Amino acid sequence: MTIGADFAAKKVRVTDSLTITANIWDLAGQDRFQRMRSSYYNGLGGALLVYDITRPDTFEKLKVWINELREQNEGKLVPLIIIGNKSDLRGTSEFPDNYIEKERCEEFCENIRTEETGDIQFVETSALTGEQVEEAFQTLILKIVKEYRWI
């Protein structure tokens, strides 16, 4: 669990001639950190919104985080990827009956899609095994680069 905010920088090769350094802020999603989160939203290029597929309450927070992003960016939504984390638990005894199915999140992404946002992509990942994590970052970086016409 993130307490407050964590920071990392990641070099990403976009094309043969373009490598960028992405500044990544991992912001806590709990309600008590809302004020702190909002201070990081201004001027951001994109967002990975992560929920835990084994905890429906975190899926419900997506709406809150999307509204926060819009409020801090003059009503616009930045390039965005929705991530369902902990896919490694699927099929284990730790996997609850009330998990969030992929189809539910895909439907959610379709419902928040607008002409402004274009497609909101959904990726299921495992931070534990690394499955699909790099792909999610690469996809977001490419969306940001295209949005701001860097290529």
For residues 44 and 33, is the Cβ–Cβ distance under 8 A?
Answer: no
- Rounded to whole angstroms, the Cα distance separating 53 from 124 reads 9
Kindly report the pTM of this predicted structure: 0.81
pLDDT in the model for residue 126: 97
Radius of gyration of the chain (CA): 15
Q: Where are the domains of the chain?
A: 5-147
What percent of the chain is modeled with pLDDT above 70?
80
Question: How many other C-beta atoms lie within 10 A of the C-beta of residue 89?
Answer: 17
**Residues contacting 100, CB < 8 A, separation 6+:** 51, 53, 54, 56, 59, 84
Digit-coded pLDDT (tens) for 13-58 = 888 888 888 877 766 655 655 566 666 667 788 888 999 999 999 9
Compare 144 and 117 and report the one with higher pLDDT: 144
Confidence (pLDDT) at 82: 95
- What CATH homologous superfamily does 5-147 map to? P-loop containing nucleotide triphosphate hydrolases (3.40.50.300)
Res 73 pLDDT > 60: yes
The token duo for 124 is 């299921």
CA distance to 19, 23, 88, 120, per residue, from 66 (Å): 28, 20, 26, 12
- 6 versus 141: the higher-pLDDT residue is 141
Structure tokens at 41: 């939203």
Question: Under 8 Å CB-to-CB from 95, ≥6 apart: which residues?
Answer: 54, 89
Per-residue pLDDT at 62 exceeds 60 = yes
- pLDDT of the residue at 14: 83
Predicted local distance difference test score (pLDDT) of residue 34: 58
The dihedral sign for the CA sequence 114, 107, 51, 85: negative
User: Any alpha helices (H) in 73-132, and if so which ranges?
Assistant: 102-112
